[in-house]
Every structure is written in C-alpha cells, then in structure tokens.
Amino acid sequence: MHLNEIEPLIKTKIRTTPYHLNLLSDEERILAFYEAIKEKAEGTIYDIGTGCGILSILAAPYADFIYAVEIDHTAAKHAKSNLEYFSNVLVINKDAKEVTFPKKADLIICEMLDTALIDEEQVPVLNSILKYLKKDGEIIPQKILNGAEAIDMERENICYEDNEANENPNYDVMSNFKIYSEIDFKKEIKEDVETDLEFKISKKGSVSGIKITTFTLLTDHLICGPTPMLNPPLLIPTEKIKVDIGDIIKVKLIYKMGGGLDSIKTRIEKVS
C-alpha cells in the first residue's frame, strides 16, 4: 500500500486546528496507522483522542460503528464537520475517562502517544476504558518499547530531538543502547515508573544525560520508529560525570506516565 492511495483523504478540505494540521503533515505516521487500521478494523470501534477525525475517516469503511471521542471543544467541532457524511460515526466531545460506552469495542484506536508515554494521557485513559474492550478485542497501537542510551548533551533542560528543526539539540552518544521497558496496552499499566539503567561507556569524555527512544508496535508485525509527530526522541539531562571507555554507570530514572515532563527525575552514579 503506497501513500498516494490515502493522500486524497489527507489533502481534502479537512477542518483542523494548527496542532492537528502538523499531525496530518506527518505522512509516515498516518500511513503506519492506516496499515494497522486496514488489518484490524471491524465491528464496534472507539477512536480515543480523535482530534480532527482522520483515523475515524480511515476506519469508517471497515467499521460497523465508531465512537470518536475528543476532549478539546474546537477539535471535536472540526471532527464533527469532517465526519458528518459518515452515518456510522458518532463524535463525543468529552473526557474519555468519563464516557459510558453503550457497546463494548472490537477495536480501540488510541493515539495519545508521547515518548515513554510521559507527556500524554494514553496510559490513564486506556486504564480507565479497558473494561469496555471485548475479551478478544484489539488495540491500536498494540505495544510500545522504550530504549535508552547515555549521552553528553549541551542543553541543561529536557527537550525533544527534531530532525526537521533548524535548532536541533547537540549531543554525543556515550554508551550502548538498551531496551528498558515494554508496555502492553491490553493490560492495566502501572503509571509510576522507577527503573535503574546500567550503561557501558563506549568513549572517553562526560555523561550529562540520557536519550529515550520509543518504538510503536501497531500490530504483531508492524513497528514504527520515531517520526516528526510520533514519539520524537527525548533528551533528559542528569548530573555531569567524567567517564572512560569500559566504565559502567547507573542512572535511576523516575517518571509518571501521563504525569508530564515535570514528573521526570534522575540520579546518576559510576558503578565501576
């Protein structure tokens, strides 16, 4: 399936907010979700955090009925306009955690993602509505994998890496890359994270931060790495320590999924 097969859906006169326009411009993100939707969409679908409604537009031909939920009033208004010709889609302008759904879902689409799920509501929202998913139901995305590596970064504040930005943060990778967590959205998820990350240093210099990269498993065989508007890598500063090749360092990483970037805390030490 090539992108030009869905471009007419994306580039028609879709009403949207400036933020959701940026989401629509991320073609890799849209195509990845479209491939997953074609594979999994059927029956009753919840589109949680529908925004301007693009994922409901893509899912509607495959669904019996879609409940498209959006908390933002302006975005929900645009979604209603964009979806008015689909008789099998109902837009609900409400916090998804407060919605009582009349039918259980065969599929939940929830794209409220952020790197490591820290700065968006994906986890608390899915935890609250998981009871409405049928026993054999599916969720898009299915899982995420979080990985980290030690870096030496110039900035002293938490920031995202954006390869399309003119002022991308400078940093040097100082260690191996390791996957430190796997989140399965079909299970209830503990929102508070506290983990110890050990890294083997690969070059002499300093470590002053970590870089988190999130990979999104939309289905069993469809994985999407970071894109401009889907989980760009997150750079988190730590105290600065001197390191040499072969050193082992440990970083304690604490945050709350859905708790925002202010919930992030780190502590770094040299083990050997």
pLDDT on residue 179: 98
Residue 84 CB partners (closer than 8 Å, separation 6+): none
What is the SS3 assignment for 233? coil
Alpha-carbon separation of residue 153 from 93, 116, 239 (angstroms): 41, 19, 11
Give the tens place of pLDDT for each residue, 138-194.
Answer: 999 999 999 999 999 999 999 999 765 556 779 999 999 999 999 999 999 999 999
CA distance 232 to 219: 20
pTM to 2 decimals?
0.92
Instruction: Identify the DSSP state of 175.
Output: B
pLDDT at position 124: 98
Sequence-ordered strand ranges (E) for the chain: 44-48, 65-69, 89-92, 105-110, 133-140, 143-153, 159-160, 171-173, 178-184, 192-200, 205-219, 222-224, 234-243, 248-256, 265-270
Q: Look-up: residue for tokens 């919605």?
A: 99
- Domains in the chain, ordered, with CATH? 3-111 (3.40.50.150), 143-270 (2.70.160.11)
Question: Is 52 in contact with 82 (CB distance < 8 Å)?
Answer: yes
Q: How far apart, in whole angstroms, are the C-alpha atoms of residue 130 and residue 122?
A: 12
- 229 or 86, which is more confident: 86
| Confidence (pLDDT) at 209 | 98
pLDDT in tens, 33-51: 999 999 999 999 999 999 9
Task: Tell me the pLDDT tens digit for each residue of 88-141.
Answer: 999 999 999 999 999 999 999 999 999 999 999 999 999 999 999 999 999 999
Written as one letter, the residue type at 94 is K
Q: How many contiguous H segments (helices) and E segments (strands) does the chain have? A: 6, 15
User: According to the model, what pLDDT value does residue 6 have?
Assistant: 54
